[in-house]
Amino acid sequence: MAAGVDRTKGSGLIAPAMLFAASLFAGETSASADQDIGGAEIVVNQVKGNLPSKGVVNVLQGDAVYRDEGVRTDPDSTTKLVLRDKTVLTVGPSSFVKLDRFVYPGEGLSGAIAVNVVKGALTFATGNAAKHSYAITTPTAALGVRGTIFRIEASAAKTRVVLLEGALNVCMRSGASCVDLVRPGQEAVVTVTQIAVTDPASTAAPGGRSVGTTAAPATTAPAAGMAASIAALREPPAADFSFIFETGRYEMDDKGIPETSAWAQKYSCGSRTRRADIVDSKAGYVYDSTRQDPGSDAWGRLPGPGTAEVYEYPGCQGGRVVADVVRLGKGHTEALEPNVTEQLIQLMFSAKKSSQ
C-alpha cells in the first residue's frame, strides 16, 4: 500500500484531563484514540472520513484508516479498505460505514473487530482473525461470520444480506430471531419485526432455472423462548414488590400505555393519576454507538434533551409503588436524562422499605 498522509495531525492541543476521560470510556489508553487499523487501497472520487480527533477529512488512496472512524462515500464514489487482519471492506456509493472497534492480537487469535454499516452497500471479506472476533451491525441486523464473503445493503428500515462464500449467521438487532445462510446466493432481508429468507437453490423451475422462495418470519428457539416468557408475564408473578415501568414512546404502538394496570389491581391501588411532566434540558450520557449513530426511532437515536410523562397509581397496599414513566420522542436504548433518572430513584425510595 502506498504511503499516505497522516490525517490525524491537528494544530490544537488536547487537555490531559480530556485524554484521561476518553481512556476511561474507551477502556483503552489515550494513545489509541486514533489507532491506525488499516488503509484505503482504492479510492474512487470523493470519500470522506470522520476522525474522533480531527473531524471530517478527505480519504485518499494510500491513507491510513482509524478505529472509530466513519467512512462516507458520495453517490459516484467507492473505496476499498484493507484492515490489518486482512479483512477487506468494499464500500459502495452513497454509503456510511463506521469502524467501531479493532483489537487484533494475531492470525487465528481471538480479537474484537466491529463494523457498523449505517447505510448503503458494503461487500465484506473476513481476514485472518478468529472468526468469532467479527461483529457486523446495521440499523436492523446483527451478523456473525464463519469465514465469509457477503454483501450488505442497509437502510434505517431494512437490511439485505447476500451470502457469496462461506457461512453467515443473521439476526434481528433485538436478538429475537436468527437464521443461518450456508449456501452462496442465499439472501436474508431483515427489518425490525422479521427476517425473510430467499434461497435460489431451494426450488428449480422447469429447465433448471432457479426460483427464489421467501420464508415466513424466522422462528427460532430464542424467539419461541421469548414468546413463552412474555405469555408468562401477562399476569403479575407471585412475588410481592413495587413495579415502576419506564419506556420510550417509540417502543409502543399507537395505543400507548394502558389506562389500567394488573399490578395496580393486585395491590388495590387507586385510579391512575398523572404527575407533572419531567423536562430535561440535558441529554443522557450513555449510549451504544454501534446501534444509535444514527439509529432508528424504535431502537433509539443519539441521546438528547426530552420530556417524560409520569403516571402513578396512589395508595397501593403495603406502601408499594406502581407507576409508568413514558419518555416522549425516545426509543428503546436512548440514555436516561438526568431529571428522569432522579425521578425514577425518588419513586423507588418512596416505597416503604418492607415492600421494596
**What are the C-alpha distances in Å from 159 to residues 92, 172, 263?**
15, 10, 39
Q: What is the pLDDT of residue 18?
A: 32
Q: What is the pLDDT of residue 21?
A: 33
Q: What is the pLDDT of residue 237?
A: 62
For residue 318, the cross-strand partners are none
Cβ atoms of 106 and 75 within 8 Å: the answer is no
Peptide bond into 184 cis (omega under 30): no
Q: What is the pLDDT of residue 232?
A: 53
- Give pLDDT tens digits for 10-25: 433 333 333 333 333 3
Q: What is the pLDDT of residue 53?
A: 75
Question: Which segment of 62-71, 109-118, 146-155, 217-226 scores lowest on mean pLDDT?
Answer: 217-226
242 alpha-carbon distance from chain centroid: 31
**What are the C-alpha distances in Å from 71 to residues 203, 205, 219, 303, 330?**
39, 42, 35, 22, 27
**Largest interatomic CA distance in the chain:** 75
Q: Which domains, ranges and CATH numbers included, belong to the chain?
A: 16-220 (2.60.120.1440), 235-355 (no CATH)
- Give pLDDT tens digits for 176-227: 888 989 889 999 999 988 999 998 766 444 443 333 333 334 444 444 554 5
Q: What is the pLDDT of residue 293?
A: 61
54 versus 114: the higher-pLDDT residue is 114
Rounded average pLDDT over 220-244:
59
pLDDT category, 52, cuts 50, 70, 90? confident
**Is the full-model pTM beyond 0.95?**
no
Q: What is the pLDDT of residue 1?
A: 41
Rounded average pLDDT over 120-142:
90
Cβ atoms of 10 and 68 within 8 Å: the answer is no
Q: What is the pLDDT of residue 295?
A: 63
Peptide bond into 294 cis (omega under 30): yes
235 versus 255: the higher-pLDDT residue is 255
Q: Which three cell numbers stand for residue 319?
A: 406502601
Q: What is the pLDDT of residue 100?
A: 86
Q: By percentage, how much of the chain surpasses pLDDT 90?
A: 36
Which of 66, 71, 34 has the alpha carbon at shortest distance from 56?
A: 71
- Give pLDDT tens digits for 258-315: 888 888 988 999 999 999 999 999 888 776 665 566 666 766 777 888 899 999 999 9
60: alpha, beta or left? (left if phi > 0; alpha if psi -120 to 50):
beta
Q: What is the pLDDT of residue 48?
A: 93
